[in-house]
Amino acid sequence: MFRLTTALLWALAPAATLAARCQWSHMQDATDAYLESQTSGKPYAMFLSDKVVYRENNRVISPTVGIITKPLAIAHQHRLYDQDGCATYTEQIVTDPKNPYVIGTQLHFDQLAGGVNVTGIDSIVTTTGDWLFNASKTLSHVLKENWDTIDSDSRADRATLKAIADLYLDLWGNEKSRVPWGMPCDRLEGSAYTGNGSATDSCAVGIPTGPQPPVTDRRYVIDESVGSVSVLCTMGTMRNAPDSHEFRVENGRLRYVHTMTVMRNETALPRMSRVRRTVKIHG
């Protein structure tokens, strides 16, 4: 459990470069503090500093008006820790019928002599009216998946994981991008699932063909221990919508893809309609 005294020590400690990698435990403490702040709706001072860049749905705003000030009952969360990039990613699912959310948040840090200093909070926040949104269905699918640690001798390295994530996202703008599809591979898009539990499940269904606007403004968190990459970005083909993609790679091939896209109450998507009609999904 994060203690406020620890936060104060971090805030007062002089900046210093101690090692090439951030310590896992320091990032864990800071992420615990972030989740406590989100649960209470009363952020620790370390997250409200004017030195912290607070970004929500691809816009830089004041954290005092952000989702972090709204108390949320988080039903499920899972995390990535990027020691080389000094960052974490947390997927949060809130099934409260009155305030449902699925949120993807990257925290970015600088190292300090006794821990880490928060430099950025970057969130994609989806709720009712967004693309295929249903928090309860999302949770039901997520709980069936396996995001356990991968044996060290079977892990893809950092560069490979980033390259695979980019190959997938490059499909928008380059339909010939050669993605290493796994079999099975399950994609969770909002609350819609492409898999049904069979060995032939594919993430390749519903991928656009023909010219598409590219995916831009990509921000990464990479965790080799679970073979995963978080990419927050702008989805050009969906009217430049704020978007989060998270990937799990096993044996060099895609196993899971999680997406959330901010499309608040959009009803007409001419670029995507011809693609999505062909997707067999399981809600």
Does the structure show a pLDDT above 80 at 27? yes
pLDDT, position 231: 98
Q: Where are the domains of the chain?
A: 4-126, 135-276
pLDDT, position 203: 94
Does the structure show a pLDDT above 80 at 14? no
CATH number for 4-126 (one of 3.90.1170.50, 3.10.450.50, 3.30.160.60, 3.40.50.720): it is 3.10.450.50
Edge-to-edge strand ranges of the sheet holding 76-82: 59-60, 53-56, 115-126, 101-112, 87-94, 76-82
With cut-offs at 50, 70 and 90, classify the pLDDT of residue 266: low
State the fold for domain 135-276: Nuclear Transport Factor 2; Chain: A, (3.10.450)
Most confident listed range (70-74, 152-156, 173-177, 194-198): 70-74
Does the structure show a pLDDT above 60 at 4? no
Report the share of the chain in percent with pLDDT over 70.
86
Does the structure show a pLDDT above 70 at 11? no
What CA–CA distances, in Å, run from 41 to 59, 69, 92?
Answer: 20, 4, 14
Domains 4-126 and 135-276 share a fold: yes
How do residues 198-213 score in pLDDT, each as one tens digit?
Answer: 999 999 988 878 889 9
Does the structure show a pLDDT above 90 at 10? no
- Mean residue pLDDT of the chain comes to 88
196, 186 in Cβ contact below 8 A? no
Does the structure show a pLDDT above 60 at 22? yes
pLDDT, position 142: 97
The residue with greater pLDDT, 145 or 114, is 145
243-267 average pLDDT score: 92
* Residue 108 CB coordination number (10 Å): 21
